[in-house]
Each structure stands twice: as structure tokens, then as C-alpha cells.
């Protein structure tokens, strides 16, 4: 077992491809909105702990992404870890 790491740039760089669709389906199946996952940061699956960790954009009260006052120009985000409900194998990713 161990950790699987996925480069999410495929979501931004290859819309409409099988890999893009599979990555988005994996995120949705694990209760993460693909539009809120930062593509520049990796997606990490810890098979031993049965968790998925991604960098997730935060939303303001109006439901919009916002600039983090503590970061020069970056959007507010956090590391979000969820229980692994759907494994990448179920989406032909591992």
C-alpha cells in the first residue's frame, strides 16, 4: 500500500479527456468539488490511512473564492483531508 500522488494539472490542461473526467469523478465521489481543488497542488491518496488530501479553495459568505489577506495575491485555501470513499482504481487511475 502506501501513498498515491496525482498531478491535477490534467484537470486544467486536458478538459474533456478520459483522464480529466476520471480525476473529476474521483474528486466528486469523495465529496470534493473539482472546481474548488487547486490544480497546482498534488492530490494525495494515503492507502494505509484510507484518506484523500487536496488543497481546497475557501469560499466567502457569498459562495465565492476570495483573496487571502495574508497572502500577496493568492486565493484563500486550506489542506482538506477526507475519508477515501472511492479509490482511484474505481476510476481507472491506479
pLDDT in tens, 52-75: 999 999 999 999 999 988 877 789
Strands (E), 41-93: 43-46, 51-57, 77-83
Per the CB < 8 A criterion, the answer to whether 66 and 29 are in contact is no
Domain contains 50: yes
Cell readout for 79 is 489542506
Q: What global pTM score does this model have?
A: 0.87
Domain contains 55: yes
Confidence of residue 47 (pLDDT cuts 50, 70, 90): very high
Cell readout for 64 is 465565492
Q: Cα 9 to the chain's mean position, in Å?
A: 10
Q: How many domains does the chain have?
A: 1
Domain contains 53: yes
Mean local confidence (pLDDT), 32-61: 95
Domain assignment of residue 59, given as a range: 3-86
Domain contains 27: yes
Amino acid at each position: 500500500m502506501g501513498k498515491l500522488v496525482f498531478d491535477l494539472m490534467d484537470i486544467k490542461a486536458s478538459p474533456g479527456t478520459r483522464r480529466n473526467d476520471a480525476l473529476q469523478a474521483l474528486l466528486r465521489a469523495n465529496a470534493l468539488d473539482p472546481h474548488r481543488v487547486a490544480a497546482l497542488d498534488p492530490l494525495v491518496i494515503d492507502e494505509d490511512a484510507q484518506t484523500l488530501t487536496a488543497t481546497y479553495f475557501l469560499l466567502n459568505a457569498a459562495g465565492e473564492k476570495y483573496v487571502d489577506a495574508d497572502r500577496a495575491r493568492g486565493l484563500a485555501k486550506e489542506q482538506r483531508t477526507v475519508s477515501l470513499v472511492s479509490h482511484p482504481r474505481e476510476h481507472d487511475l491506479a
